[in-house]
Amino acid sequence: MSKVAKVVVVTGIPGVGKTTVLDGALELVNEEGGNFSCANYGDAMFEIVKKEGLAKKRDDMRKLPEDVQKRIQKQAAKEISQRAGNKIVDTHCTIKTPKGYLPGLPKWVLEELCMTQFVLIEADPKEIAQRRNRDKSRKRDEELESSISEHQEMNRAVSMSYAMFSGASVKIIENAVLKKAVIELAEALKDG
């Protein structure tokens, strides 16, 4: 009987250190034969958009008609889920907009991904604010610690709703000490 591939969604708000934790954990797990590949969900969507000639810049995807965005979301999820082996999907749990929070993984995406585990990377709001200020490669809106805290709380609530729809477990990893967070994620991937 063949073993079912794992589909692990890893998320966290901007500045939490998700990519750094994820890269370290992937290296550890794959050294031990974990056979995980990583797909950035936004990149997968943008590849489809570019192929179809719908936009030239990733940020322009938000300007596409809603029905087109939904179709692209579903298509990207389907393409990711069809890849061989264990997969990590690097994405946003929620997207903070001027109108409020949007789900990063709507129902039609969850149905295509068939995730087996959901991992939420968190950090102290003060630390996140400091990391964002130090990161000169990005231009981010300045945000109060209370707003950062609210966004993380929203991610917790939404991740549990994703679990209800998918049957996946939810693991929360605190990124206070990088090495500890990397090891915790690597262990979760092995067990997940």
| 99 occurs within a structural domain | yes
| 64 occurs within a structural domain | no
| 134 occurs within a structural domain | yes
Q: Name the DSSP class of 54.
A: S
Residues of the chain whose pLDDT is less than 70? Answer: 1-3, 136-141, 191-192
The count of structural domains within the chain is 1
CB neighbours of residue 109 within 10 Å: 24
| 62 occurs within a structural domain | no
| 46 occurs within a structural domain | no
106-155 pLDDT per residue, tens: 998 999 999 999 999 999 999 999 888 887 666 666 788 999 999 999 99
Q: What CATH number corresponds to the domain at position 17? A: 3.40.50.300
